[in-house]
A and B are shown apart, each in its own frame.
Chain A
Amino acid sequence: MKTPRLSPQTLRVLERFIERPTAWRYGYELSRETGLKSGTLYPILMRLAKYSLLETKWVTTEDGVPPRHTYRLTPNGIELVRATFANSRVGLKVRRPAFSGGRA
């Protein structure tokens, strides 16, 4: 299976998804949690969806408010993310502060 390039920003998004793998997430919610702007976040989501690692769905929240586009990892996506984080511990590296003196 072809996989997308896992940039630090992509890993940050995947981390958010893997925290609650079955939950559907909103774009703005992800943007706030990861600190990524829309111009960075959406290309990542689009790329993940292209590789079938992400599924999308329109949901109606309340009357009078337009439906929202939601996202969650596919089983393939969950498997890949878990394998990636388990093998390379990249998730921890990403979380490490820039000037932590070598300690996580």
Chain B
Amino acid sequence: MIPVEFPRRLATLLLRFAIWIAPHDTHDWGHGMLSELNHVEGNWSAFLWSLGGAGVLAKRAILAVILPGSHRRTVSSASELFAKELPVRKTMLAVIASCVAASLLFFLVPVFRQAFQVSLAQWHDVFHAKLSFGYPTRDLELDALAKKAEQNRDAEALAFAAVRYPNAIQRERLANEAVHLDPNLTWLYAVAGTAYLSPSEIDRRVSVLKQWDPGNALPHLFAAQKIGATVTYSKEFPLGKLEENPAWEKEMDAAFQSPKLDNYLDRQKQLDHRVLSRYRLDDPFQAVSGEDWYGFPNYGVGECSLYARLLLESGKSLESRGDRKAAFEKYWVVARFGQMMGDGAGFIFIMRKNMKEAYTRLGALSQMEGNNGAAAFYAALADQFDKAADKQRLLFRNRFQGSDVSHWNAFLVRLSGLLMLFCAALLLLCALGIVVRSRPFRLSSLHPSRLTLALGFSAAIGALISSAVLFVSYWPYSELLQRFLSKGDDAQLFELSAFLRDTQLPFGSQFNLGPGSWYVASWSVVFYFWFAVTILCALALLVAVFRHFQTRPRTSAAA
């Protein structure tokens, strides 16, 4: 509970501080407001009185900085006044120096340096707005790694870079070189996907994959995806008629008949861990760059759903014609392929409805055949689908949208990073102001004004607090990263991934698909940022011109 006298005490403190920073010619007025405070009725009224008065004095103080000629000191000797305040100023300077030193000491801690780099990620879009629209930017660390890997003929490092490289041509070259050096890395062709590749290169990779891992459905799915991408929109096969393409049907049939479906993402994670450890890379963005898609299929998802639907319709048709055995086969192929996809994202977003229907039909057919045990089993599987799907959906929402904790921590990291830069800039401005004002420069003549001292003090305290907040907010995520780098433990890597995804948004923008979600595009924040910078630059120019004309020596009329 707030003590009754608290607002009045706060009001007194506020007004005293405002008088302290105010230019000398307004001190009488400030003390006048302060003396009136004793007569203001009501504690909160006194606080409001003080707030208004402090605002007036602060405005004068700022104007005195911009237009120094308009508020000249009336005391005879500035050095005399300084001598009286020497202990206060010395204490404040000591506090400022301590805070700045403590903030700089944070940089000695590697985790803090990493946290600071993460907090700078929000500026990427601000300074690379043109490049971010579909054109990934260069990554110097990745460039260096790729160069080193090529020199050392390190196939794993080349594969690591190939998956992450922003340039498609370079990515293709690095992947081919990695597989050439180590054919055991052929799975890299599957992880890298088919995006940005020429049809002939896709064909070549599919052929290599089919030979390297003959039992896997994945190469067939890639081949079908390529046919879908190149044929669907042609005149011969208009949209929606993909199923009439025999080549596509052949590849899909081979995929659904394959004994296994391996998307090699586990291998990729293991390789990531090995390369990160070997090259001592501790960039969290590189560590989690594949995390967003771990668990999601890297093949054509629409094709699987379409072919499963075709099989189900074909099964129903066979069923109506009385061929239960053939119908059973069709339903079973769909159910088996769904099982191969596992209970991940593919199950939820692609095959859930088809699988439920397949199990329902299998149950019905078993019932017709008089196999009540099998019928009950399939019916139970079909019933469990909705519950299982809801549970998985919730898990995936947390995984890919991030928890509230990660959103908050990312917000704190962005805010504290921003405050650190702001406070550092303010401190620099104060230091520059002091040096410029005491021309010719002499160390003994450096006497900061009260306002400069107050601003410097606030900035130093702000820098220290924001450094501490940045460190504390990032600490848990550095632990997650270290756990992955040292032990290969990726259990919570998705949390780090969600956190890092948020930290890359410019402050003020938000991309959240949770309940009550809202969206502020980063490009609009970037626009407002540069708009504000332009306006501030124009204002600064105006003030500079105004000051120039105000302070330039005037020639006499006689001259």
In the assembled complex, the Cα of A92 lies from the Cα of B51 at a distance in Å of 32
What is the CA–CA distance of A65 and B51 in the complex, to the nearest angstrom?
22
A42 with B29: CB separation less than 8 A: yes
Interface string of A68-93 (1 = CB under 8 A from B): 11000000000000000000000000
**Is A51 in the interface zone, CB < 8 Å from B?**
no
B32 A39 Cβ-Cβ under 8 A: no
Majority secondary structure of chain B interface residues (helix, strand, loop or mixed)? helix
A26 B52 Cβ-Cβ under 8 A: no
Cα separation A39 to B29 with both chains bound (whole Å):
12
* A8 close to chain B: CB less than 8 A: no
B34-42, B143-151, B340-348: which lies at the A interface?
B34-42
Contact of A67 with B by CB under 8 A: yes
Residue pair A40, B52 in contact (C-beta under 8 Å): yes
Report the minimum CB–CB distance from B462 to chain A (whole Å).
26
Q: Which residues of B lie under 8 Å from residue A66 when comparing CB positions?
A: 34-35, 38
Contact residue among A37, A40, A43, A69 (Cβ-Cβ distance under 8 Å from B32): A69
Within 8 Å by CB of A42, from B35, B39, B40, B56, lies B56
Tell me which of A28, A31, A46 has the highest count of chain B C-beta atoms within 10 A of its own C-beta.
A28
Tell me which residues across on chain A come within 8 A of B314, comparing CB atoms. Answer: none
Is B547's CB within 8 Å of the partner chain A? Answer: no
B35 x A39 contact (CB < 8 A): no
A3: Cβ under 8 A from any B Cβ: no
Contacts A27-B32, A46-B29; A65 near B38 (Cβ below 8 A) = yes
Shortest C-beta distance, A63 to chain B (Å), equals 13
Q: Is B106 an interface residue (CB 8 A)?
A: no
The number of chain A residues with a CB under 8 A from chain B is 18
Question: Bound complex: CA of A21 vs CA of B28, how far in Å?
Answer: 22
Q: Are B36 and A39 in contact (CB under 8 A)?
A: no
Inside 8 A of B50's CB, which chain A residues have their CB? 38
The answer to whether A43 and B33 have CB atoms under 8 Å apart is: no
Determine the chain A residues whose CB is within 8 A of the CB of B32 once the complex forms: 27, 42, 56, 68-69
Q: Does chain A have a CB within 8 A of B232?
A: no
> With A and B bound together, what is the CA distance between A46 and B32 in angstroms?
11
Contacts of B55 in A (CB 8 A): 39
Q: Please measure, in the bound complex, the distance between the C-alpha atom of A40 and the C-alpha atom of B55, giving whole angstroms.
A: 10
Q: Which of B35, B49, B51 contacts A67 (CB 8 A)?
A: B35
Distance in Å from the Cβ of B284 to the closest Cβ of chain A? 48
* Interchain CB contact under 8 A, B28 and A56: yes
* A37 to B51 alpha-carbon distance, docked (Å): 10
Q: How far is the CB of B28 from chain A (nearest CB, A)?
A: 7
A28-B49, A38-B33, A69-B31 known; A43 vs B39 contact (CB < 8 Å) = no
CA distance A38 to B52 in the complex (A): 5
Interface residues of A in 37-59 (CB under 8 A from B): 37-40, 42-43, 45-46, 56
Binding site for B on A (CB under 8 A): 26-28, 31, 37-40, 42-43, 45-46, 56, 65-69
A-B residue pairs, 9 tightest by C-beta:
A69-B32, A39-B52, A38-B52, A28-B36, A27-B36, A38-B53, A37-B52, A66-B35, A38-B49
Q: B residues bordering A, Cβ < 8 Å?
A: 26, 28-29, 31-36, 38-40, 48-53, 55-56
